[in-house]
Amino acid sequence: DVKVTQSSRYLVKRTGEKVFLECVQDMDHENMFWYRQDPGLGLRLIYFSYDVKMKEKGDIPEGYSVSREKKERFSLILESASTNQTSMYLCASSLTDTLNTEAFFGQGTRLTVV
Amino acid sequence: KNQVEQSPQSLIILEGKNCTLQCNYTVSPFSNLRWYKQDTGRGPVSLTIMTFSENTKSNGRYTATLDADTKQSSLHITASQLSDSASYICVVRVNAGNNRKLIWGLGTSLAVNP
């Protein structure tokens, strides 16, 4: 079974802190994604990566950056956390970018910025 | 504008009853449509994928339909169980050259009561 593991289930951080969310997948998938999920807004794509050291902006990249130094690991970085970044963050991976490929999600990290 | 709308927003049913969730989309060009189940506090898990040529597909007690002409999909749950309580999210894939994107619905929250 594919496993996508996010380093934390719950995080509480202070405004202005630099926050790192880590995601690891164990199935040698090429593509990795970071989403945030908010009530009434659904899932929104922050960044994705289709190869090591490659990244592309999603729909809401402002205030975030990412790092993919190894194929299995994709990190989301909040440069200076703000209260409007309080959200559920979901990491996902998929084997390729072909049409019917399935994205597998981690269990999510609920981040609260105070 | 590419949009995916789901109805109802929430639904409460008794254990053992059937229900149908709806997904309407205005996405072009359409590539495929996938239904995810998301348990509370967890990441989404794929239930089924529908491509343009498919009308009906079953996965155990879940049956998805697709009408590409009217741009509607439904997810029918038969003989509901308490474990079916979750959010069900419809996502449609756009694929046009370099524009490969997922359009997410907001989900239907289903509660199955004993």
Collapsing DSSP to helix, strand or coil, B84 comes out as helix
The 10s digit of each residue's pLDDT in B82-96 is 999 999 999 998 876
Answer yes or no: do A43 and B51 touch at CB < 8 A: no
Chain B residue with the nearest C-alpha to that of A87: B41
Instruction: Report the b/e string of B70-87 with b at 16+ CB within 10 A.
Output: ebebbbebeebeeebbbb
A42, A104, A105 ranked by CB distance to B104: nearest: A42
Per-residue pLDDT at B98: 58
Per-residue pLDDT at B4: 95
B31, B51, B105 ranked by CB distance to A42: nearest: B105
Distance from CA of A25 to the nearest CA of B (A): 14
pLDDT band at residue A99 under the 50/70/90 scheme: low
Q: Which two tokens stand for residue B95?
A: 């694929």
In the predicted model, is pLDDT for residue A10 greater than 90? yes
Asked if B97 reaches chain A (Cβ–Cβ under 8 Å), the answer is: no
Write out the E strands in B1-114: 3-7, 10-14, 19-26, 30-38, 45-51, 56-59, 62-67, 72-77, 86-96, 99-104, 108-113
On chain A, the residues whose CB falls within 8 A of the CB of B43 are 4, 90, 92, 105-108
The 10s digit of each residue's pLDDT in B4-59 is 999 999 999 999 999 999 999 998 888 899 999 999 989 999 999 998 888 999 99
B43, B51, B107 ranked by CB distance to A108: nearest: B43
B41, B44, B106 ranked by CB distance to A105: nearest: B44
Residue in A99, A101, A107, A111 to test binding to B, most B beta-carbons within 10 Å = A99
Per-residue pLDDT at B15: 98
Answer yes or no: do B93 and A90 touch at CB < 8 A: no
